[in-house]
Amino acid sequence: MAQKDRDEIRKALLQKGFFQKDNDHEFFYYKINQSIFTKLSRGSHYKTYSADLMGKIKRQLKLKTMDQLLRFIDCPLTGEEYFNLLVSDKIVLKEGKSDYTT
C-alpha cells in the first residue's frame, strides 16, 4: 500500500478547493461543503502517512477507493473531477458549484 508525504497531501487539498484552519492539527475543509474535511497532524511521526491514515483520509474526503485518493494527491484528479465525483455520489449538489472547483 502506498504511503504519502504530509506536504504532498496538504498541497493537493489546497489545490482541490479546501481551506486550512490551524489548531493542534491542520484541519482542511472543502469550500463547497464544509462537512467534508480532514486533518493532518503536525507531529514529527506523521511526516509520512501510512496506509491506515491514508484510509481515514479517503473516507473523510468521501472517496470510494484508494486509487481515487492517490489520484487526488498526485493531481491527475482535478478539483473539477473531485467535485463531479461528489455530485455523482450525491454528496454535494450541482448547484453548489463555485469557482473553487478548478
Q: How confident is the model at residue 10 (pLDDT cuts 50, 70, 90)?
A: very high
Domain boundaries, the chain: 4-101
Cβ pair 54, 71 in contact under 8 A = no
Cβ pair 73, 5 in contact under 8 A = no
Cβ pair 47, 40 in contact under 8 A = no
pLDDT in tens, 16-56: 999 999 888 899 999 989 999 999 998 888 889 999 999 99
pTM: 0.85
pLDDT reported for residue 97: 53
Burial 60-87 (b: 16+ CB within 10 A, else e): ebbbeeeebbbbbbeeebebeebbbbbb
